[in-house]
Amino acid sequence: MNPTSGTATLSEDTAVAPAQRSGDSYIPHIVAWNLTKRCNLACAHCYISAGSWHAQETELSTEECMRILDEILNVNSNPMLILTGGEPLLRDDLEAIAEEASSKGATVVIGTNGTGLTEARIDSLMKSGVKGVAVSIDSLSAKYHDRFRHGGGALSETQEAISRCAEKSLDFVIQTTVTSGNRHELKDLAKWSADAGAISFNVYFVVPTGRAERMKGMSSAENEEVLAELVVLEKEYRGTMMIRSKCQPQIMRHVFEESADSPLLNYETRCPCGVHYVRITPEGKVTPCPYMPLIAGDLLTQSFKEIWETSSVFTDLREGDLSGRCGRCEYKEVCGGCRARAYADTGDYLGPDDSCAYDPVGDKPLVTSRVGKSYGQKAEEGNIEWTSEAYEKMEKIPSFVRGVVVERLEKYAKDKGYEVIDMEVMKKVREDMPVDFSKKRPFFLGRGGRA
């Protein structure tokens, strides 16, 4: 097994097309599944325009969900499956779907507004195999958060739910949608999240789709300032909590310029929609991501495999040429702009993302980051072998992070003089070094505690 280095390099290639990837690299590592449009809140930025008025009858049945789940696992046996909504806790069969998925190899997490996470519901989710929850906190001010979420008392209910998750050692992520009205709170929100025990603080930038079409997003100059602040915060909390931007891959330009040792450089960071990431709607439609409502296929009439492998939309996103400033940008391999925002603003998902303030000339070397994708059991000549038990354990790690974990395991083993990676070596790695950004072991490597 010999994953290639995730270290960034500069290439002399200045062509505008993205680098060609091998066919087997187009794997749906992350599947976001909107199980319902029903919700007890009506958030101002909701991409699916969720609310209490939506009918349950339009949703996929339990039986249809189970069939689709098997089709997903036929394409990738170890995806991260994000079950969300609307508010997914409103589905009576949520635990049944989660249990079926987790028992068959998926890493299941729940995206929720948090208001329904009672002690009993947390117990039920954990029993069904759910590994973590992503919960939204947009402000530490109830006035702002409750107005933004259109729900009186929402902030206090969500904060209480987060405390219950921490008490029960259910991993959680705090998600914040940044706007001109709350950007001044990011430092305080990051501290609150870390103190609460979050494994990650994810900052989402508005994409004008769904109800967010009526929102005025931040200016490109404001986006730049927020991204620069997030790079500083990531350094501050490194080893304690991950900090990431969402729907704003332009953070990678700041990372390359200001944070050469950032762990983000170990991962594929270009906009993943339709490449490694996909969304399923409550009605069974497939789109490249939750923020791009362009239908690539229908799971009521097509299989997941057929849609994933043959959709022209996905082919374009994987191999098409970006245009405008994104096409001539030297960071297009590690950023590429938000494809959903380009589609929302111009109708062209390969067009420029104008939320970015950077205007590239187009004559600079291409910035690239190469991430390993070799997951074999046995090393090539000169590399380290794995015992069958250790290999079986490794294969259960979600596919989206497995390459990085394998690379770090093998480096650790070589540095310590081990000739074979077995369960004892894996245990030592978990105890002696962080396997991801955080010293707190994330859900996919063992529940709770700090390494």
Could you read off the pLDDT of 58-79 as tens digits, one per residue?
Answer: 999 999 999 999 999 999 999 9
CA proximity to 283, closest of 50, 46, 56, 45: 56
CATH 3.20.20.70 residue window(s) in the chain: 30-346
| Cα–Cα distances in angstroms (integers) from residue 181 to residues 49, 177, 231, in the given order | 21, 10, 20
pLDDT of 292 reads 97
CATH 1.10.8.550 residue window(s) in the chain: 385-432
Query: What is the separation, in whole angstroms, between the first and last Cα of the chain?
Result: 25
Q: Is the pLDDT of residue 114 over 60?
A: yes
User: What tokens does 156 get?
Assistant: 């206090």
CA-atom Rg of the chain in angstroms:
21
* 405 close to 445: Cβ distance less than 8 angstroms: yes
| Cα–Cα distances in angstroms (integers) from residue 417 to residues 167, 192, 412, in the given order | 39, 41, 9
Q: How confident is the model at residue 298 (pLDDT cuts 50, 70, 90)?
A: very high
CA dist 19 and 21 (Å) reads 6
User: What tokens does 362 get?
Assistant: 């187009």
CATH 3.40.50.1000 fits 30-346, yes or no: no
| Mean pLDDT of the 297-317 span | 98
Alpha helix stretches (DSSP H) within 128-184: 142-149, 154-167
CA dist 131 and 145 (Å) reads 26
| Cα–Cα distances in angstroms (integers) from residue 101 to residues 35, 78, 104, 279, 352, in the given order | 14, 10, 5, 16, 37
Q: Is the pLDDT of residue 9 over 90?
A: no
Q: Is the pLDDT of residue 106 over 60?
A: yes
pLDDT digits (tens, 9 = 90+) for 128-146: 999 999 999 999 999 999 9
CA dist 410 and 433 (Å) reads 13
Q: How confident is the model at residue 239 (pLDDT cuts 50, 70, 90)?
A: confident
* 438 close to 240: Cβ distance less than 8 angstroms: yes
* Eight-class DSSP state of 82: E
Domain 385-432 class in CATH: mainly alpha
- Tokens 């609307």 belong to residue: 86
pTM: 0.86
CA dist 209 and 46 (Å) reads 8
What value does the mean pLDDT of the chain take?
87
pLDDT of 178 reads 98
| Partners of 438 in the β-ladder | 239
Q: Which of 41-45, 177-181, 285-289, 427-431 has the lowest mean pLDDT?
A: 427-431
Using alpha carbons only, give the angle 411, 2, 262 rounded to the nearest 5 degrees: 55
CA dist 30 and 6 (Å) reads 20
pLDDT digits (tens, 9 = 90+) for 205-237: 999 999 999 998 899 999 999 999 999 999 999
